[in-house]
């Protein structure tokens, strides 16, 4: 949507995988999992609006 920006952690190579945190969290909740998947997937951990950075 125009005018909407989201913070995201993007890491890795391979087929993309989008992961979202729960109600009380941020993309940082996925750091360890994203690092573990980075060899086989391009991980996009998004911050929901008004969460995280």
Tokens of 51: 């969460």
32 in a structural domain: yes
The boundaries of the domain holding residue 18 are 8-46
Q: With residue 36 as reference, give the H or E element that holds it.
A: helix 31-37
Q: Is residue 53 part of a domain?
A: no
- Tell me if 51 is assigned to some domain: no
Question: Quick check: is 24 in a domain?
Answer: yes
Count of structural domains within the chain: 1
Residue 1 falls inside a structural domain: no
pLDDT at residue 45 is higher than 70: yes
Among candidate residues 22, 24, 21, 23, the one with its CA nearest the CA of residue 45: 21
Res 10 pLDDT > 90: yes
Write the pLDDT tens digit of every residue in 18-32: 998 888 888 888 999
* ∠ CA 41-31-24, rounded to 5°: 120
């Amino acid at each position: 949507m125009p005018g909407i920006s989201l913070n995201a952690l993007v890491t890795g190579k391979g087929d993309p995988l989008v992961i979202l945190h729960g109600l009380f969290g941020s993309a940082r909740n996925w750091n360890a999992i994203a690092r573990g998947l980075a060899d086989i997937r391009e991980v996009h951990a998004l911050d929901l609006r008004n969460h995280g950075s």
